[in-house]
Amino acid sequence: MVAAFKGCQHLRIGRLTALVAVFLLVLALITATVDAESKVRRPLRRRDPLSAAASVGNSVVRNRLIRPTKKPFGLTTTEISSIDKEETVVVTEPTPFIRRPIGGLRTTTPPAAAATSALVTTTPKSVFQRPSRRPGMRKPGTTGLSSSIHNDNKNNNKNVNIRPVAGSGNADKGYKIVCYFTNWAQYRPKTGKYLPEDIDPHLCTHIIYAFGWMKKGKLSSLEANDESVDGKIGLYERMMALKNINPDLKVLLAIGGWTFGTAKFKEMSATRYARQTFVFSAIPFLRQHGFDGLDLDWEYPKGSDDKRNFVSLLKELREAFEAESQEMKSPRLLLTAAVPVGPDNINGGYDVPAVASYLDFINVMAYDFHGKWENTVGHNAPLFSPSSDSEWRKQLSVDHASNLWVRLGAPREKLIIGMPTYGRSFQLTDTARFRVNEPASGGGVAGVYTREAGFLAYYEICEMLRSGKASYVWDEEMKVPYLIMGDQWVGFDDERAIRNKMSWIKKNNFGGAMVWTLDMDDFTGTVCGNNVKYPLIGAMREELRGVPRPGKDVEWDQEVPTISLSATTLPPPIQISLSDILNKVSTKKPQLLLPTVNNAAPVNGSNAKTICYYTSWSANRPGLGRFTPEDVNVELCTHLVYAFGALKDYRLSLVGGDGAVKQSVDSGNRKPRQRASVAVEGDELDVHARIQTLREKNPDLKIILAIGGWAVGSGPFKELTSNIFRMNQFVYDSTEFLRANNFDGLDIDWEYPRGADDRASFLNLIKELRLAFEGESVTNKVPRLLLTAAVPASPEAIAAGYDVPEVVKYVDFLNVMTYDFHGHWEGQVGHNSPLFPLETAASHQRKLTVDYGAREWVKLGAPAEKIMIGMPTFGRTFTLADLSKFDIGSPASGGGIAGPYTSEAGFLAYYEVCDFLQEDNTTLVWDNEQQVPFAYRDDQWVGFDDERSLRTKVSWLKEQGFGGVMIYSLDMDDFRGHCGSGRYPLLKAVRQELTAENYQVQFVYDGPYERSASSLITGKPAPKDPNVVTCDEEDGHISYHPDKANCAMYYMCEGERKHHMPCPVQLVFNPSQNVCDWPENVPGCETHFTAGTGRR
């Protein structure tokens, strides 16, 4: 019994222990579960960024956020589901589309006729009216990604990932709100007047100032009071004051707009020179006025050329902005663009992936889909298209257009979707028929403040609604409202529509909202109700950035009479008379002028060139050595190279230096250039003006400015080319500088590029210069500036610094410095410029000759006709170490005694050599091997060129087929006739020998920039296809032309723009009356609908 009891006891204890263990295990599991659930659910309990109140009452239903109480969006669960529906983006065949529909008019007045399609059942009125007063009036906004995302539905939006724009210059990870400010809003009357002081600095992430202007291809201001003048603070400066209140605010300047047109953009983007001229005018202009970037509003690029040039423009702007940022160590300027939403406009003018790669963000003009240019009412900016639309017109919605940009390659986070703060109005033909797509007879009555028919600011729309005479209609399909007041019909966006669109933006992961414009919202808060300033933009900020907006939304359906829409059928198409629109229509057929080829026989050769350097410091020489512009014999030179211009702050300049004489040389191939910058600062400009008058004596003389030289060295060129912004700024400043100072070209004397980096930099510099010179010539229709380079003759120096085949593509000719092969920097005497080597010369010495150096350039790829052989008018002197040893190679203790005029040891001008030769006991030697003379007296030795040696070199030059000679320099020849052989004995000998036997240089090089007579352009009209319609302003800004291939179509010309338009169903175009008419009234089109497509 005891044993049994003890067994039971042990059993009970074991069971108890087991129960305790189970209990503890369950408790542990419960604790773990609660802990885990707490961690999982914690994010759902975070505060909504809007406010604590904003998140109260939210409940999760099927992973979607539904507000169970009264919805500020005015949406039911069904409505939200409708918004969330994925819609397939269908791109139909491109149609002729102009600015107006399909979004994004940049002016208060849209362009002309509606887009065309065989499915369109109505014909737009095709009347294009430019917006009143201001160029570029309508413009959409830009996106803004901000750090706080308003998450209406934490579950539904959990996949929303707005990424910062690459290279945007900030770490902003939220939505952008980009707001346009128009500088013509200052002219509106009374309460409509809008100025920078009316802007809430915290309302937008970016403000875009619309618009700047373009003068002579350069960025400039438009309005007289944009810039501060004479102590009066301008709008630019007043706008920048907003950044003192909100340092995070970015302010950009826009250029373009609808009324700005496309011609200036076409011209500016057509060549690299024109683009770079704009680019390097834009950067200082933006920086000077405190702007943070540039917004391009080209409306619109069209065709393959424009498409390519627009990308090039964006690329060059972005590269320059990047380089300028690095150079100046400042935040990079932003680059954005306003773009259309019409499929034809996008496909016809935008390489979307390329465009998106260069822009920080893209302002999609998702408005102006419909307007008074059409003959039926339509909403300005429907989120979705109505079911009553034709298949083509269903493309005209915010949703379809925005997703089209995505389908074509634009990143969603870079797309900033345009939101209008205005409406488009119509006059109804029949007040009983007020639904979308019902007939209209024109634009609605102009507003009191905006003063344009067919257009109303939001505060003007509020006044209509507050008048008690208007009825409010909410269109559930389009998710936007419109109002009706008598025969007035207005499609607009209110707070309910804006909040819907913000929800849609977040759902689709777009980058933010763009506002066109600040000044058309109710900025005073005194018109629309509830004392709310900026009700529409404030709602955008609240939804996208979580910043609560004071006051409640105005629920118009609760405050004004409403109309419920019931299903109805569309009316049949009607005939529209175009003649009612036009007082006068031109049917003149424009004629297109195209370049034609001149078939004249090509020229096989031309006279050889004589390039004469003129040194600026020669004016400082004493007595008879002083050289002035009046001493130049203009008949002896084809080109005069003025040495040297100065490089100041990486810009070309004429004035620089103190005039001190300075000659410096070193081993290798050298040129004795006393100064590397312009010499006489006080008299320099006068000297320059006197040089320019030399053309009066010889109109064919080309005057070129040289920059560089031995004294300048390589350093400044290295610095100049180390930064693309710095280099390109130099290139385009230099182009203007040369033109302003009447030079015919630029000579680059970089002594010397060395190594792979310098080699590439030198090539880039001359390439950019040539591209700029070519572009400037085409743009301004003037002869191109010449581009030359002074280059060494040393094989080692050539190999170290020059990509010869590439270099010769860009230069007009090379001035080869075939002198200074030897000088006082060596320990033995040697000739300055031997034509050939001594027979006993070592291998290295054999390369230091005129013949070897010149042929080395040809061997490495330079065409002979581009090589100018350097001829020195100076000699190199030595002091002999042993009076008994005076031949080439004899030891020397240094340079010879300085001349009385050039004042430098080891160096004598030719007229100083003459004095040396006339001294007693001087011995003159002709070296038959080197084909040059030298002379010595006592311990002084000089190697130089005389008339005989130069004639010999020219004779050799002609045998080799070189392009001419380069004289260094005019001022060291005997320009006064001191030697007894008349003035300029050396130069005259060269010219006589060069022109003997009518020597002609043979041009055989076929480089990318070479021109022959066979490519001359004439202005003869090209044959014209009579069936092709070409638009011309001479026909009138609006003109109409029949489509000879299809009776039911016609062409509407709006200036130079051509739009292919359809007539309504069962009608054909009547060119005699400019109407869409019955087929039986149009000869040639009677059987159009019974026998297929009719042809006239």
Q: Where are the domains of the chain?
A: 2-45, 143-420+495-559, 605-873+946-1002, 1024-1096
C-alpha 904/C-alpha 434 separation (Å) is 95
Pair 366, 102: CB distance under 8 Å = no
- pLDDT at residue 405, rounded to an integer: 97
Backbone angles phi, psi at 671, to 5 degrees: -125, 130
Tens digits of residue pLDDT in 827-855: 999 999 999 999 999 989 999 999 999 99
C-alpha 401/C-alpha 379 separation (Å) is 15
Burial 424-454 (b: 16+ CB within 10 A, else e): bbbbbbeeebbbbbbbbebbbebbebbebbb
The CATH class of 1024-1096 is mainly beta
Pair 966, 986: CB distance under 8 Å = no
**Residues recognised as catalytic:** 299
Ranges of the chain with pLDDT below 70: 1-173, 565-606, 655-685, 1011-1027, 1032-1037, 1055-1056, 1090-1096
- Tokens for 333, please give them: 């300027």
C-alpha 108/C-alpha 117 separation (Å) is 26
Backbone angles phi, psi at 357, to 5 degrees: -70, -25
- Model-wide pTM > 0.95: no
- Relative to beta strand 940-943, strand 932-937 is antiparallel
Pair 185, 83: CB distance under 8 Å = no
- Tokens for 880, please give them: 């002999």
The residues, any chain, with a CB within 8 Å of residue 233's CB and separated by 6 or more, are none
C-alpha 824/C-alpha 820 separation (Å) is 10
Burial of 683 from C-beta contacts in 10 A (0-12 / 13-18 / 19+)? middle
In CATH terms, are 143-420+495-559 and 605-873+946-1002 the same topology? yes
Pair 835, 849: CB distance under 8 Å = yes
- The residue to which tokens 């040039």 are assigned: 309
C-alpha 911/C-alpha 901 separation (Å) is 9
Enter the DSSP assignment of 463. Answer: H
DSSP helix/strand/coil, 792 = strand
Pair 544, 172: CB distance under 8 Å = no
- pLDDT at residue 683, rounded to an integer: 54
Tens digits of residue pLDDT in 382-440: 999 999 888 888 999 999 999 999 999 999 999 999 999 999 999 999 999 999 999 99
Among candidate residues 705, 690, 592, the one with its CA nearest the CA of residue 642: 705
CATH number of 605-873+946-1002: 3.20.20.80
DSSP helix/strand/coil, 24 = helix
Pair 384, 479: CB distance under 8 Å = yes
Residue 1037, Cβ neighbours under 10 Å: how many? 15
What's the fold here for domain 143-420+495-559? TIM Barrel (3.20.20)
The residues, any chain, with a CB within 8 Å of residue 66's CB and separated by 6 or more, are 58, 59, 77, 80
C-alpha 80/C-alpha 293 separation (Å) is 38
Compute CA 480 distance to the chain's CA centroid, rounded to the nearest angstrom.
Answer: 37
The type of residue at 185 is A
Could you please report the per-residue DSSP string of 599-664? -PPPP-EEEPEEEEEEEGGGGGS-GGG---GGG--TTS-SEEEEEEEEEETTEEES--S-------
